[in-house]
Structure 1
Amino acid sequence: MEARYVFRVRVRLEVEPGAEAVSLEPRTAETTLFYDAPEPGADGWLFFRNTLWRGEVSDRAYARRLVDEWLSPPVESVAFSELQVDEEYFEALKAEIAADLEAFNADAVSEVLSKYLGSSVRV
């Protein structure tokens, strides 16, 4: 069972103090960040509910702080791209959601997936 969240991240590159002969242009770089999704029901599996809304990062400042903890260059921006899952993970995710729809304030699993991930799930 495998799944990972994919984010586009822009980081700010900085020259170390004392390196006056060095300059950068541009001062930012974009990269793709992959975050392994916890198994449905395991600690942290609600990452999508707590971080995303309609396939977008719901709180950009929170996402920057979170990713900043994972990377050493300062993070300027974070954008969610997709949740990549295999069939087994996707079925387990839907089953876990279905077991507690009330926690998502929803009537159906498809509503939960749309509400938090939009159309950004790739199986």
Structure 2
Amino acid sequence: MEAQYVFRATLRLASPRDAVTVDSATAETTVTLSRAAPPPGTDGWLFFRNALWRGEVGDQEYGRRLAAEWLDVPRESIESVSFRELQVDEAYFDALKAEIGADLEPFNAETVSEVLSKYLGSSIRVVDGE
């Protein structure tokens, strides 16, 4: 059972040396980063509910802070962060739906499909687990 959140972050590079300057207009780079998704029901599994809304990062400041932590760079270097998709294998997707369905109240929803749409939009991709 495997899953990962995929994000895209835009960073501004800065020189660590005073004698070297970087033209910020040309030193911008975009990276794609992945973060393992904890198994449903375990600590941290509700990351999607706490950080995403309709397939977008719900709070940009929070998203930039997370990206800075994940990349081990200063927060100021993260220009933006966007959610791309939750990649899951069939086993993870089934477990996720079962865990959500066991208690819909925290999601303020009536169905599992509503929860997935509300927080992840159409940004779930089921991939072959091999």
Q: TM-score, length-normalised on structure 1?
A: 0.94
Residue 32 (structure 1) shift: 0.2
Residue 67 (structure 1) shift: 1.3
The letter for the 1-side match of 2:66 is: L
Which segments of 5 or more consecutive residues in structure 2 lack a partner in the other structure? none
The letter for the 1-side match of 2:37 is: A
Cα distance in 2, alignment partners of residues 54 and 79 from structure 1: 12
User: Partner of 2:65 in structure 1?
Assistant: 65
User: Partner of 2:18 in structure 1?
Assistant: 18
1:81 aligns to 2:84 (yes or no): yes
Residue 103 (structure 1) shift: 0.9
Note the aligned Cα RMSD (angstroms): 1.2
Q: Give the aligned length.
A: 122
Partner of 2:9: helix, strand, or coil? Answer: strand
Partner of 1:68: helix, strand, or coil? Answer: helix
Partner of 2:4: helix, strand, or coil? Answer: strand
> Please, which of 115, 121, 124 is the counterpart of residue 118 of structure 1?
121
Report the identity percentage.
63
Residue by residue over 1:22-44, the C-alpha shift from the partner in whole angstroms, topping out at 9 and shown as x without a partner, is: 54561211010100000000000
Partner of 1:16: helix, strand, or coil? Answer: coil
1:34 aligns to 2:51 (yes or no): no
Structure 1 stretches of 4+ moved >3 Å: 22-25
The letter for the 2-side match of 1:93 is: L
